[in-house]
Amino acid sequence: MRGPHNIFRLIRTGATLERNAAMADILAAVEAPRPARIAIRALAWPFKWLGYRGDPGLPPVARALTAMGPAYIKFGQILSTRPDVVGDDLALQLRLLQDKLPPFPVAAAKETVAYELGRPTDELFAEFSEPVAAASIAQVHRARMAETGQDVAVKVLRPGIERAFRRDIDAFYFAAGLVAKFLPGSRRLRPVEVIEHFEGVVLGELDLRLESASASEFADNTQHDEGFRLPQVLWNHSSRRVMTMTWADGINASDVEALRAAGHDMTALSQRVIQLFLSHALRDGYFHADMHHGNLKIAADGDIIAYDFGIMGHIDEYTRRVYAEILYGFIKRDYRRVAEVHFEAGYVPADRDVDEFARALRAVGEPIFGMDASRISMGKLLAYLFEVTERFGMETRTELILLQRTMVVVEGVARTLDERMNIWDAAKPVVERYIAESIGPKAITGDLVKTARVLARFGPRLPALAEEALIRLSKEPEPAERPSRWWGLAWAVIGGAIGAGAVAILTLL
């Protein structure tokens, strides 16, 4: 219920933001007018004593959100993927949020496991450790299966987390409505829609069956990727509030010294991180959208192991082709082609000048190519590209924003492993291979086969459709219009023949 009972929560939220010096940054991000900023801060200041004190080691906004608890932390994490909403500066600050909270008691975790899986925890697991990681929504325990002795990771939702999130989301909606009503400049940011997006993401993460399904689909897509593996979901020991996966042994991707001491090829690892991400995004259209150091381990044999599949990105096939052509055009420094791709995809309005747009893209690409290899950044390129396209009237595309954000994170991981790696050299073979497979003759043949299959599905219905057309035509009183309708019927018959031929061809394939 989004009513006045949320007012106290909002007062405490405002007090915490003001106490941690975060209010000014947020008001600037939503472009509040100066009088409104002064008024809001003046109202919040007397209540500072009600606010929670945050970690002084964090930036102001991250400090305040961390102090207010799981829902606010998760909200900040999701906003960090939306620089189109909060701006680049605040998005960068939000990426520093520490997704680490005090763990809840192991006894409570065991109680949840027993209730969800229908058997006492001690019967299911011979060992069940204290928490090895605690995040905003769940925590992870290392355990050993009683029947097989297999080491596993058991992820358990925090007790009462669903109710707590729904209560806070209710307050978020109330606040978003007030912001949209009283701060007209914020309406372009669509505050209520932002909360709707947040609610959808969080409610998905509160059902671990969905994360298990994401992990399973990702594993199917990547099972043949050399040097990459994922933990396996144990479905018989997973449910809505519990997720069990095989344990992944390895060195955290951020521990560079340990990786070097173990004899790993840091340059090869760095390149593989970039190439795997691009392969997943372009080839599969389904990628790990939270691929930071904490979610990656390096196995003893050098394989990269990814886990935590709460946030996954999806790109449709057409968008993947467009994205690949844009990257390929920049790699080849063919700015005219990059401009044409934007117009062909409808990203830029047709009434804009393609040559002027190409010159603007050259201004984006050339400075980057003039940099030293260690400073070249695909993430920066995409950020600059979106700035230019916005000036030319391109509307924000959420899936590309998530892709850009993930690219920045993956680049950060790659630079940690080898600070002098050349992003373009690593990306080029993946993009070129995708271009050859998705835009060349092989791709055209594949598109024709898909079209034939769609037509084939209508084959059994074509006689009935033709009969319906004849009946309608016979009842038509205006003979002058009949020739055009006869042409329509003729095309229906031709389509039927094509469909029948498609059925025959597919039968032979």
pLDDT in tens, 438-476: 766 666 666 566 666 666 666 666 677 666 766 776 666
- Does residue 140 fall inside a structural domain? yes
350 with 237, same domain: the answer is no
Range with lowest mean pLDDT among 323-327, 328-332, 370-374: 370-374
pLDDT at 397: 66
Q: What is the pLDDT of residue 234?
A: 96
Let me know if residue 228 belongs to a domain: no
CB burial string 288-325: b at 16+ within 10 A, e below: bbbbbbbbbbbeeebbbbbbbbbbbbebeeebbbbbbb
Any long-range contacts for 209-214 (C-beta under 8 Å, 24+ apart)? 209/238, 209/239, 209/240, 209/243, 211/155, 211/243, 211/309, 211/310, 212/238, 212/243, 214/309, 214/310, 214/312
**Could you tell me if 144 and 125 are in contact, meaning their C-beta atoms sit under 8 angstroms apart?**
yes
Question: Per-residue confidence at 504, pLDDT binned at 50, 70, 90?
Answer: very low
Largest CA distance in the chain: 87
Both 291 and 403 in one domain: the answer is: yes
| Range with lowest mean pLDDT among 202-211, 289-298, 373-382, 490-499 | 490-499
CB 389 within 8 A of CB 395: no
Quickly count: other Cβ atoms within 10 Å of residue 479's Cβ.
7
Q: What is the CATH number of the domain that holds 237?
A: 3.30.200
- What span, in angstroms and rounded, lies between the C-alpha atoms of 284 and 316? 9
**340, 387 in Cβ contact below 8 A?**
no
Strand partners, 157: 138
Q: How do residues 375-408 score in pLDDT, each as one tens digit?
A: 666 666 666 777 777 777 776 666 677 787 788 7
Percent of the chain residues topping a pLDDT of 90: 28
Residues in the chain: 509
Is the predicted pLDDT of residue 429 greater than 60, yes or no?
yes
Rounded to whole angstroms, the Cα distance separating 118 from 220 reads 29
Domain of 112 in residue numbering reads as 105-157+208-222+233-246
**Active site amino acids:** 290
| Domain assignment of residue 227, yes or no | no
Give the pLDDT of residue 493. Answer: 52
d(CA 13, CA 360): 43
486 falls within a domain: yes
| Pure H helices in 299-422 | 317-332, 335-344, 354-369, 378-391, 398-417
Say whether both 213 and 114 belong to one domain: yes
* Cα–Cα distance measured from residue 72 to residue 95, given in angstroms and rounded to the nearest whole number: 13
CA-CA distance, 320 to 322, in Å (whole number)?
5
- Buried-state track 120-155, b at ≥16 Cβ within 10 A, e below 16: ebeebbeebeebebbbbbbbbbbbebeeeeeebbbb
Give residue 171's pLDDT band: very low, low, confident or very high (50, 70, 90): confident
Residue 505 has pLDDT above 50, yes or no: no
Query: Three-state SS for 151?
Result: strand
Cβ contact 168:71 at 8 Å: yes
- Comparing 45-59, 217-231, 290-304, 334-348, the range with the smallest average pLDDT is 45-59
Residues 147 and 170 grouped into a single domain: no
pLDDT higher than 80, residue 501: no
**Residue that terminates a domain, selected from 408, 423, 439:** 439
Mean pLDDT is lowest, of 45-59, 65-79, 95-109, 368-382, for: 368-382
431 in a structural domain: yes
CA atoms of 265 and 259, how far apart (whole Å): 9
Window from 107-111, 160-164, 242-246, 259-263 with minimum mean pLDDT: 160-164
Of the pLDDT bands very low, low, confident and very high (cuts 50, 70, 90), residue 193 is confident
The region that residue 312 occupies, defined by phi over 0 for left and psi between -120 and 50 for alpha, beta otherwise, is beta
User: Which of 188-192, 196-200, 428-432 has maximum average pLDDT?
Assistant: 428-432
Q: Please give the average per-residue pLDDT across 316-320, as a whole number.
A: 86
Average pLDDT in the chain: 80
Tell me what pLDDT residue 503 has. Answer: 45
Domain count, the chain: 4
**Confidence at residue 428, expressed as pLDDT on a 0 to 100 scale:** 83
* Tokens encoding 205: 């993460």
Residues 117 and 41 in one domain: no
Q: Is residue 300 part of a domain?
A: yes
Residue 126 lies in a domain: yes
The pLDDT, as a whole number, for residue 291 is 87
Q: Looking at the structure, tell me whether residues 368 and 312 fall in a common domain.
A: yes
Same domain? For 260 and 377 the reply is yes
180: tokens are: 């949209």
3-state secondary structure at position 177? helix
Does some domain include residue 270? yes
Shared-domain flag, residues 293 and 406: yes
Looking at the structure, do residues 413 and 453 belong to the same domain, yes or no? no
> CA-CA distance, 444 to 442, in Å (whole number)?
5
Residues 218, 87: one domain?
no
439 three-state secondary structure: helix
Query: Do 30 and 179 touch, CB atoms closer than 8 A?
Result: yes
Answer yes or no: do 303 and 401 share one domain. Answer: yes
- CA dist., res. 165 & res. 60, Å (int): 23
Q: Looking at the structure, tell me whether residues 433 and 452 fall in a common domain.
A: no
